[in-house]
């Protein structure tokens, strides 16, 4: 008989359920009449959370791809710079030699 002692704790859920249920006469819920939009249900929040997690996973994957591209570009740039330094050293030696 615990339900009879804690009915007041269930009241907000019951009110929300009633106010978010579609009324047969007007075709929309009382919540929608008052606020102008449909109320968010707990399942909506769960689905939104799942979508956010999927987006984060995709962003993480893209981040890894971009980091690999940046590393490759940095290595290429270093090789080019090393080659240019070697060419400068070679050119200076040639100038000093002549």
Name the maximum alpha-carbon separation found in the chain. 106
DSSP string over 62-88: HHHHHHHHHHHHHHHHHHHHHHHHHHH
The overall pTM is greater than 0.85: no
* Under-50 pLDDT residues of the chain: none
C-alpha 21/C-alpha 32 separation (Å) is 10
C-alpha 18/C-alpha 34 separation (Å) is 14
pLDDT at position 2, please? 64
Nearest-5° angle of CA 47, CA 45, CA 60?
Answer: 55
pLDDT at position 95, please? 80
So where are the chain's domains? 1-39, 40-98
pLDDT at position 89, please? 82
């Amino acid at each position: 008989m615990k339900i009879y002692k804690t009915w007041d704790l269930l009241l907000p859920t019951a009110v929300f359920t009633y106010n978010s249920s579609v009324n047969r006469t007007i075709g929309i819920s009382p919540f929608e009449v008052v606020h102008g939009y449909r109320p968010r249900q707990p399942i909506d929040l769960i689905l939104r959370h799942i979508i956010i997690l999927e987006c984060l996973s995709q962003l993480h994957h893209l981040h890894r791809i971009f980091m690999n591209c940046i590393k490759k570009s940095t290595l290429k740039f270093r090789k080019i710079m090393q080659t240019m330094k070697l060419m400068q050293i070679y050119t200076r030696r040639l100038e000093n030699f002549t």
